[in-house]
Amino acid sequence: MTLTIHIIDMLHIEDNYSFVLRDEASRKVAVIDPPEAKGVLEALAHEGWQLDYILNTHHHWDHVNGNIKLKVATGAQVVGNAADAHRIPGIDIKLQVGEAFALGESVAEIIAISGHTIGHIAYYFTADKAVFCGDTLFPMGCGRLFEGTPEQMVVSIGKLMALPDDTRIYCGHEYALSNAKFALSVDSNNKDLQERMRQVQELRNIGEPTVPTTVADEKRTNPFVRAGSDVERFAQLRALKNDFRG
Ligand code: ZN
Ligand code: FE
């Protein structure tokens, strides 16, 4: 593996996670979706890393609010979807979907995953089988549809699930516990899901993240994934989840 990835706990902001990663061959460093600068700068100082890029998956404030401060503090370049350039603060490198982004020798495919927002992208580092998917998919859940349609979200989730089963999925929030409660409410006989609920509870009890998840784990336990290409079922689940109080 050529990437070292650290999770930055920013749970004090909307239960967010940010990530810092370094390509070991070139020592190029990136941060994914910084909600603020402070925690990122602390993590970089702790590792002794210098920031080269700020990668955004989508424009929501809890994913881009640290862009400008980090850019000023480190000289890093802001990277995002060209289609979202008007709403990504400080954007320098405007990516086209389907294009590749090189963090040194680690190359990420840019995958279009609209649904949570239009213009949402994922960064899939192919050699490491690590994908950063922002607010599209979470352990046992998926993002709310702020801008996109159920059809778009089903297609986007399908793209993530088409990646290799052992792909690690890095998500933008710690939502696993409430997602697991909802998932059990609609898929109560799923043994893998029951077991996963226990694992998630154990992790959260000791303050450990449930991220990253994997493609294989989501296929077994995520009701939104298990709806497959059934858009109606997906939309029904999404509506139920929006009103769910676990
Ligand atoms: Zn969002
Ligand atoms: Fe978010």
**Hey, which residues are catalytic here?**
58, 60, 62-63, 116, 135, 173
Centre of ligand 2 from the C-alpha of residue 60, in Å: 6
- Crossing angle for the helix pair 191-205 and 176-186, to the nearest 10 degrees: 160
| pLDDT > 90? residue 12 | yes
Global pTM exceeds 0.95: yes
Centre of ligand 2 from the C-alpha of residue 25, in Å: 31
DSSP state of 116: S
Centre of ligand 2 from the C-alpha of residue 101, in Å: 22
Contacts of 202 (CB under 8 A, 6+ apart): none
| Ligand positioned closest to the Cα atom of 18 | 2
pLDDT digits (tens, 9 = 90+) for 66-88: 999 999 999 999 999 999 999 99
Neighbours of 205 (CB within 10 A): 8
Task: Tell me how far apart the alpha carbons of residues 174 and 176 are, in angstroms, rounded to a whole number.
Answer: 6
pLDDT digits (tens, 9 = 90+) for 95-109: 999 899 999 999 999
Q: What is the pLDDT of residue 246?
A: 74
Q: Which DSSP helix (H) or strand (E) runs through 44?
A: helix 38-47
Mean pLDDT of 192-206: 98
* Three-state SS annotation for 143-208: CCCCCCCHHHHHHHHHHHHCCCCCCEEECCECCHHHHHHHHHHHCCCCHHHHHHHHHHHHHHHCCC
Mean of all residue pLDDT scores within the chain: 97
Domain borders along the chain are 3-174+212-220
Side chain identity at 233, as an amino acid letter? R
pLDDT digits (tens, 9 = 90+) for 229-238: 999 999 999 9
pLDDT digits (tens, 9 = 90+) for 112-143: 999 999 999 999 999 999 999 999 999 999 99
| pLDDT > 80? residue 150 | yes
Centre of ligand 1 from the C-alpha of residue 234, in Å: 19
| Ligand positioned closest to the Cα atom of 116 | 1
Give CATH for domain 3-174+212-220: 3.60.15.10
Sheet holding 100-103, edge to edge: 100-103, 106-112, 121-125, 130-132, 168-170, 213-214
- At 1, the pLDDT band (50, 70, 90 cuts) reads low
Burial of 134 (0-12, 13-18, 19+ CB in 10 A): buried
Question: Within 13 Å, how many C-alpha atoms sit on residue 152's CB side?
Answer: 18
Tokens 């239009």, residue located: 118
Q: What's the N-to-C CA distance of the chain in angstroms?
A: 39
